[in-house]
């Protein structure tokens, strides 16, 4: 296997790992949305307490979404730089 081919294989492995990370975040966000939905369902629990928990869960979801967006943006830039380096090393 050529050095260039090995470099591209490493970049592909990194990209696959990042996609798996994104999938895990999506699973977490889905669980949060389900929990928020559950808090907003009619219940004998005090409405103010349920709304407060839903707001806390939504804040956590926003944090995870922002974190994922920043991580994926950074990863995309790093992968592009690696690919440009390998592509330019002909």
User: What are the pLDDT tens digits along the chain (90 aa)?
Assistant: 677 888 888 888 999 999 999 999 999 999 999 999 999 888 888 989 999 999 999 999 999 999 999 999 999 999 899 888 887 755
- Quick one: tokens of 61? 């979801």
Q: How many other β-carbons are positioned within 10 Å of the β-carbon of residue 37?
A: 11
CB contact at 8 A, 86 and 11: yes
Whole-angstrom Cα Rg for the chain: 20
Predicted TM-score (pTM) above 0.85? no
Angle (CA) 56-59-65 rounded to 5° is 145
CB contact at 8 A, 82 and 7: yes
* Burial of 7: CB neighbours in 10 Å, binned 0-12, 13-18, 19+: middle
pLDDT of 42:
87
């Amino acid at each position: 296997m050529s050095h260039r081919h090995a470099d591209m294989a490493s970049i592909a492995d990194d990209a696959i790992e990042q996609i798996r990370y994104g999938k895990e975040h999506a699973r977490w966000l889905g669980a949060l949305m389900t929990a928020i939905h559950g808090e907003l369902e009619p219940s004998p629990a005090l409405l103010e307490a349920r709304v407060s928990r839903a707001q806390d869960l939504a804040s956590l979801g926003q944090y995870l979404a922002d974190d994922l967006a920043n991580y994926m943006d950074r990863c995309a830039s790093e992968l592009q730089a690696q690919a440009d380096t390998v592509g330019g090393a002909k």
